[in-house]
Amino acid sequence: MSNALTRLSEIAPAPSEPRRKDWDEVERNLGVELPADYKELIHVYGGSNWDDYLYVLEPGCPNENYDLIEWAKNQAEDLEDLWEFEKKPAELEVEGSRVIPWATTDNGECLYWLVRPGLESNQWTVMVNEARGDRWEHFSVSCTQFLAASLGGELQSNILSSLFPRATHEFRQLGAV
């Protein structure tokens, strides 16, 4: 278990039933290998809601509103359309760079992996995009490091809600609607 996942388990005990995924099928669908820490996060917590604000996306999530594969497809199309009118973040100017969503919020902010040519998935970092705006932030951490450090108060985003994280943490595994 990674240090970040250990920290998360101190914040919120893991559900008793791990989520099992056919990662080969998921990665074939997405066309990329996903980071090991994310796969471990999903195995332990599944698609989840943290502090009644941040939703971690899961491939094949029982709550179809938070399905990673659908989000990845839709966000890729939406961003390509958007970048016809808005400037791409500097981190995406390198040819072959792209973002893949891994979480969203109640307010519509989206958290992405920054995928760059030549980098393995375990080297991907996090980008946060404001809802209905062109502000982006880049964090040189993995998705589980971002989640654990945000909940622990060591990492703060200027885009995410000032009410996140809560003083008393809440965790909810996403189930069927």
Asked whether the beta carbons of 37 and 2 are under 8 A apart, the reply is: yes
**Does residue 17 surpass a pLDDT of 90?**
no
pLDDT in tens, 59-99: 999 999 999 999 999 998 888 888 888 888 999 989 999 99
Of the candidates 74, 78, 113, 72, the residue with the CA atom closest to the CA atom of residue 92: 113
What's the pTM?
0.95
DSSP assigned state of 157: -
% of the chain with per-residue pLDDT over 70? 99
Amino acid 153: pLDDT: 94
Beta-ladder partners of 172: 49
Asked whether the beta carbons of 114 and 99 are under 8 A apart, the reply is: yes
**Does residue 32 surpass a pLDDT of 90?**
yes
- Residue 57, burial from CB neighbour count under 10 angstroms (0-12, 13-18, 19+): buried
3-173 in CATH: which number? 3.40.1580.10
- Cα dihedral 35, 36, 41, 47 sign: positive
Sequence spans of domains, the chain: 3-173
